[in-house]
């Protein structure tokens, strides 16, 4: 298991008027990459669970760890989606 560092946010991109189109494109590619990683983790845990059901798994502890990692990553993705949706709805409620 490797732990990836969190890259710092560039403060220039948070100032209104300093919209970097490349940064928005990189955000969408980052989201796509994270969704791909989530999909791989879920597939990995499903394979571990199937191996357990077939009697191929050596250690129940490893299978449970994979399932919990998948659950945690999915819950994180769901919470990020909810926050993005709330932000979008808040922007849509703003009067111009």
Statement: residue 53 has pLDDT above 90: yes
Tokens 């798994």 sit on residue: 57
Q: How far apart are CA 96 and CA 14, in angstroms?
A: 21
Residues 60-69: pLDDT tens digits?
Answer: 999 999 999 9
Residues 69-91: pLDDT tens digits?
Answer: 999 999 999 999 999 999 999 99
In this predicted model, which residue has the larger pLDDT, 10 or 52?
Answer: 52
Least confident of 2-11, 43-52, 79-88: 2-11
Q: How far apart are CA 20 and CA 14, in angstroms?
A: 10
Residues 28-38: pLDDT tens digits?
Answer: 898 899 999 99
Which tokens in the block code for residue 25?
A: 């494109």
């Amino acid at each position: 298991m490797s732990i990836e560092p969190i890259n710092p946010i560039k403060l220039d991109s948070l100032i209104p008027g300093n919209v970097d189109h490349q940064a928005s494109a990189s955000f969408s590619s980052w989201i796509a990459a994270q969704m791909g990683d989530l999909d791989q983790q879920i597939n990995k845990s499903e394979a571990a669970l199937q191996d357990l059901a077939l009697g191929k798994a050596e250690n129940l502890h490893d299978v449970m760890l994979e399932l919990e990692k998948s659950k945690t990553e999915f819950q994180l993705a769901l919470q990020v989606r909810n926050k993005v949706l709330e932000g979008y709805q808040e922007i849509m409620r703003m009067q111009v």
